[in-house]
Every structure is written in C-alpha cells, then in structure tokens.
Amino acid sequence: MSSTASLSAKTALVTGSTSGIGLAIARGFAREGANVVINGFGKPEEIEAARAGIESAFGVRAHYSDADMTKPDQIAAMVRDAEERFGSVDVLVNNAGIQHVSAIEEFPGEKWEQIIAINLSSAFYAMQAAIPGMKRREWGRIINTASAHSLVASPYKSAYVAAKHGIAGLTKTAALELAAHKVTVNCISPGYVWTPLVESQIPDTMKARGLTKEQVIDDVLLKAQPTKEFVTVDQVAALAVFLCSDGASQITGANLTMDGGWTAQ
Ligand code: NAD
C-alpha cells in the first residue's frame, strides 16, 4: 500500500453511516476498493439508495446493518456478521453520534445515558468485537470520530463533551494495547461540519441562548472556527482514507484535528 490507500480485498465497517460524515467515509473507502458495512437509522428507501449507490458507483459490495449502537449485543453481532459475510473487518470507524443541547440542571438523565452509550460505549464494544480478528491478521485500522469537543468544551453540551473527551482517552489506550500488532487507532476531531447533526441542534441552541438562526450560525458555530467556513464531509473522509494507507502506519494514538483552527486558540 502506498500513501494513497488501496483497500481492495479489505472490509470497512462504519457505524452511523446512513448520513453525514459516516456516509462520506464509507464512500471514501469504497472508492479505494473496500467492501463496506454501513449502519445507522433513517428512512428504509434512503438507506437502500445509499447502500446500492455505493455498490454501483464503486463496484464493491455494501451491506447495511441496522444494529442499534446503544445495544452491546447488537454491536457484537454486527461485527460477527460482517466477518462472516466478507471474511474480515479490517477497518472499523466508530462514528455514530448524537447531540443534545441543554443546561446541566435541565439535561434529561436518559439523554445523558443515550449520548454516553452511542458516542462512547459503542466504540468500546465494537473494538472489543473487531480487535481479535485484526490481531490475528496483523493488520487493522480503527478510527474514532471524536470532535473539537474532545479537546475543548462548550456550554450546554455536557454529555457530548464528556463522551468525546472519553473517546480520545479510549483511542490512546487502544493504540498502546495494539501498537505491536500493526493495528493503528486514531481519532479525527472535526470542528463544525455541515450535517443533519449540526442543523438539528440549531433550534435548541436558539432556545438555550435566546438567539436567531443566523446568530447561532455566525456567533456560536462559526465564531469558534477562525477560517469562518464549515468543514466538509469529504475532507473528513479524505483523512480517514489517508489513515488507512501505509504512509500513516506510524500514526497511532493521535487526535487529529480538522477544525479550521478552532482548538489552536
Ligand atoms: P449525522 O446525524 O449526519 O449522522 C449520525 C449517524 O449516527 C446517522 O447515521 C445516525 O443514523 C447514526 N445513529 C444515531 N443513533 C444511532 C444508534 N443508536 N445506532 C446506530 N446509529 C445511530 O451526524 P454527523 O454530523 O455526520 O455525525 C457523525 C459523527 O461525527 C458523530 O460522532 C459526531 O459527534 C461527529 N462530529 C460531527 C461534527 C459536525 O459538526 N457535524 C463535528 C465533530 C464531530
């Protein structure tokens, strides 16, 4: 493999890939020749269009798993099924994530539990299921979609910030455990990427801060980002593809920011 990844004969499983960043990453891997497992929720016809679109655009096989990332048994079964179906899970991207915006004293307990389960614990359970095969084959790539919020906080996002700081720590621990097995573990930490996750938090942020939609975009979201531009899903996917190349084989345990300078401040 060169510094451009060739992933033919490899399988990539991307959690939370029915939309946004995850779908762009899955398509990025398929473009490099990988068979892919996509996962997440959404309208069945849209999910099928995304799955079939990957197969027809890139000539690979794409399978959809409806595993719920709050359910450890479903996560383990998804990995097992992918290994049986395609022979291996060589690349695991823990990307599923949700957000809830509210002050701590009003933050519903079940939202806290759900965010910790989807944004943090699911990565632990997916790694637990995928690592034995990667170690046996002496090759693997684990990429966790963290966030600028793995390095800095914003008010009203307590569960999200806690989960993302957690995944940065989990990434480092797994990287050390797997360093001698040719399995790298890294996280990508985007700033604001224009996806349904960002769009859907605008109304709550308007409410929590008493702002208009335009004020939320300019004064809250892009205020943090010195470039004053949203990151694109394809830029995140390009970094994920690079992390699977030989050129990236000594990058492990890293938290790679892609945030227009946000966390440099
Ligand atoms: P998105 O809403 O477009 O995608 C989230 C994906 O997770 C969807 O496929 C959704 O169906 C899936 N999902 C949600 N709950 C699930 C569950 N219980 N089980 C399985 N799948 C589930 O959002 P996105 O912006 O593409 O977010 C993807 C990741 O990127 C998240 O981890 C998010 O925290 C992170 N991130 C996003 C931004 C941003 O600005 N958009 C910035 C930094 C990090």
Write down all domains in the chain, each with its CATH number in brackets: 11-193+231-257 (3.40.50.720), 194-230 (no CATH)
Residue 2's pLDDT band, with cuts at 50, 70 and 90, is very low
Q: How many angstroms is it from 96 CA to the middle of ligand 1?
A: 5
Residue 198's pLDDT band, with cuts at 50, 70 and 90, is confident
Can you name the residues that pair with 94 across neighbouring β-strands? 144
What's the confidence (pLDDT) of residue 258?
A: 98
What are the structure tokens assigned to 38, written together?
A: 């996509």
Local structure of 250: helix, strand or coil: coil
Average pLDDT of the residues of the chain: 96
- C-beta 257 within 6 A of ligand 1: no
Whether the CB-CB separation of 244 and 29 falls below 8 Å is answered with: yes
- C-beta 38 within 6 A of ligand 1: no
Ligand 1 atom closest to Cα of 69?
Answer: 19
DSSP H stretches of helix in the chain: 20-31, 44-58, 72-86, 109-116, 122-137, 158-178, 196-209, 213-215, 233-243
What's the confidence (pLDDT) of residue 200?
A: 87
Whether the CB-CB separation of 205 and 157 falls below 8 Å is answered with: no
Q: How many angstroms is it from 66 CA to the middle of ligand 1?
A: 15
What's the confidence (pLDDT) of residue 1?
A: 42
Q: How many angstroms is it from 63 CA to the middle of ligand 1?
A: 19
Angstrom distance (rounded) from CA 148 to CA 165: 9
pLDDT per position as a tens digit, 127-142: 999 999 999 999 999 9
Top mutation candidate among 43, 92, 95 for ligand 1, by most atoms within 8 Å of CB: 95
How many other C-beta atoms lie within 10 A of the C-beta of residue 57? 12
Q: For residue 160, indicate whether it is catalytic.
A: yes
Question: What's the pTM value of the predicted model, to 2 decimals?
Answer: 0.95
Q: What is the chain's length?
A: 265
